[in-house]
């Protein structure tokens, strides 16, 4: 793992590396400092972590990148935390007593940024920021910020609200954390299941942000997806949090991640599922997905993650068989009963076309009433192709006008060209 990271870091410029490291390391530093100082001092921890990255931006641009950028950040963060401890009067007077057990003989605060302590700190922090004292939507936003290193713009995109609303929501959530004096620790066994629901939603949102890349004009952001998988794996590794639902979530992400390389062509453009080269699919990740899906089968609960993981599994089976699409259709039927969503309904319509033909799918799609969604028009353009040329082009042109990202527009333009 270290050599893979080192190789990745060497291939990146300072301009691209610092945002990448912010995504992967900011939350680790923040979690460790919060666990040490207490959740009531969360903003101090965030400020120290942010200052380390600001210093990196100033220093690396002038003197070049260090041999081990992540270790450099950890050292700077440790030094800044120690300086804060020594020189800030409030910190020294009010917090020193609480941290007395961590002080060495020389009065030096011990900041443990070892992999084991980072892992434990992040696992406990997941539950701290997803405490029931905080409104659910604020829990997810705060977790995306602290655990996943999301910027305010990205969190706003995830919730479809403006940046100012998210900033206020996060401020109120931090105040709630301080006021409730929430401890950074695993909840008792009887509370873990209910608290895991928000944690899993956060991880799911993070993966989707990378997989569908809503915040940037790129087809895929692997760093976000891999970070989501890392957080889910932290939960799977712990006996208390390795529930069937979490295993199903990790399985779902493994199946999706297995097709990363096939989703983008040599020009960086998206490749639709039917056009993907299955030789590029990662068999090891498919096997891991199957492993976690088997683990998820223990118990009597079938969650949306179970159903989506099974749908994703069938998409790793390239052969276009009747059994495959009938299975996918039935899984979507169950998913819509458990939790309706417009995107799931659209995806079900595509599976319906594979099982019962395009005309049946068109009738089902037009009943959905999703005329303001560009994906709806893109799907109808696909379904009308070969049936009604004028309607196919009309829907695709509407989809093109509605699409916001360059990646979506390129796909739709290709479909329009194919119709002509």
Within-domain flag for 245: no
- C-alpha pair distances (Å), 2 with each of 49, 54, 137, 237: 22, 24, 35, 20
Look at the chain and report how many structural domains it folds into: 1
Its domain, for residue 109, covers 1-113
Query: Encoding tokens for residue 157?
Result: 């995109």
H or E segment to which residue 416 belongs: helix 406-419
Within-domain flag for 360: no
Within-domain flag for 1: yes
Helices (H), 213-297: 222-237, 244-257, 283-296
pLDDT by residue for the chain (420 residues), tens digit each?
Answer: 433 444 445 556 666 788 888 878 998 999 999 888 888 788 889 899 999 999 999 999 888 889 899 999 999 999 998 888 777 655 556 555 555 444 444 345 678 888 889 888 989 988 888 888 887 777 778 888 888 877 788 777 766 678 899 889 888 888 888 888 788 888 888 888 888 988 898 888 878 877 876 444 555 677 778 888 988 999 999 999 999 999 999 999 999 999 999 988 888 788 888 889 999 999 999 999 999 999 999 888 899 999 999 999 999 998 888 899 999 999 999 999 999 999 899 999 999 999 999 999 999 999 998 999 999 999 999 999 999 999 999 999 999 999 987 778 888 998 898 887
Within-domain flag for 389: no
The torsion angles phi and psi of 378, rounded to 5 degrees, stand at: -65, -40
Q: Are the CB atoms for 68 and 17 separated by under 8 Å?
A: no
Residue 201 and residue 190: Cα distance in Å, rounded? 19
**What is the tens place of the pLDDT at every residue in 23-60?**
789 989 999 998 888 887 888 898 999 999 999 999 99
Within-domain flag for 366: no
Within-domain flag for 150: no
Within-domain flag for 9: yes
Q: Are the CB atoms for 98 and 144 separated by under 8 Å?
A: no
Query: Encoding tokens for residue 308?
Result: 């989506």
Query: Encoding tokens for residue 80?
Result: 């800044």
Within-domain flag for 32: yes
């Amino acid at each position: 793992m270290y050599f893979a990271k080192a190789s990745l870091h060497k291939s990146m410029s300072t301009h691209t590396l610092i945002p990448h490291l912010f995504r992967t390391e900011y939350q680790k530093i923040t979690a460790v400092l919060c666990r040490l100082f207490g959740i009531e001092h969360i903003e101090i921890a965030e400020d120290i972590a942010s200052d380390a990255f600001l210093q990196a931006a100033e220093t690396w641009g002038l003197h070049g990148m260090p041999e081990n950028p992540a270790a450099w950040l950890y050292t700077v963060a440790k030094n800044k935390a120690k300086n804060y401890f020594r020189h800030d009067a409030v910190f020294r007077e009010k917090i020193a007593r609480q941290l007395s057990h961590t002080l060495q003989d020389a009065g030096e605060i011990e900041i443990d940024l070892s992999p084991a302590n980072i892992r434990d700190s992040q696992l406990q922090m997941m539950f701290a920021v997803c405490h029931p004292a905080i409104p659910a939507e604020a829990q997810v936003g705060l977790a995306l910020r602290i655990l996943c290193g999301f910027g305010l713009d990205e969190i706003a995109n995830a919730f479809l609200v403006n940046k100012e609303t998210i900033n206020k929501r996060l401020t109120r959530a931090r105040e709630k954390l301080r006021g409730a004096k929430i401890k950074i620790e695993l909840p008792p066994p009887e509370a873990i299941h209910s608290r895991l629901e928000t944690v899993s939603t956060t991880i799911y949102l993070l993966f989707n942000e990378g997989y569908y890349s809503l915040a940037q004009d790129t087809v895929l952001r692997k760093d976000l997806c891999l970070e989501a998988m890392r957080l889910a794996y932290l939960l799977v590794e712990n006996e208390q949090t390795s529930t069937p639902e979490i295993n199903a979530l990790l399985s779902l992400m493994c199946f999706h991640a297995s097709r990363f390389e096939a989703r983008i062509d040599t020009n960086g453009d998206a490749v639709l599922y039917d056009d993907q080269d299955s030789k590029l699919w990662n068999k090891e990740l498919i096997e891991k997905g199957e492993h976690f899906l088997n683990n998820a089968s223990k118990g009597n609960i079938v969650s949306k993650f179970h159903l989506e993981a099974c749908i994703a599994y069938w998409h790793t089976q390239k052969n276009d068989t009747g059994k495959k699409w009938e299975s996918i259709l039935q899984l979507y039927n169950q998913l819509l009963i458990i939790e309706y969503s417009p995107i799931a309904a659209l995806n079900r319509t595509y599976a319906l076309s594979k099982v019962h033909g395009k005309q049946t799918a068109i009738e089902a799609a037009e009943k959905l009433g999703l005329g303001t969604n560009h994906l709806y028009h893109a799907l109808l353009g696909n379904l009308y192709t070969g049936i009604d040329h004028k309607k196919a082009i009309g829907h695709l042109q509407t989809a093109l006008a509605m699409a916001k990202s360059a990646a979506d527009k390129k796909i739709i333009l290709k479909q329009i060209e194919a119709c002509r």
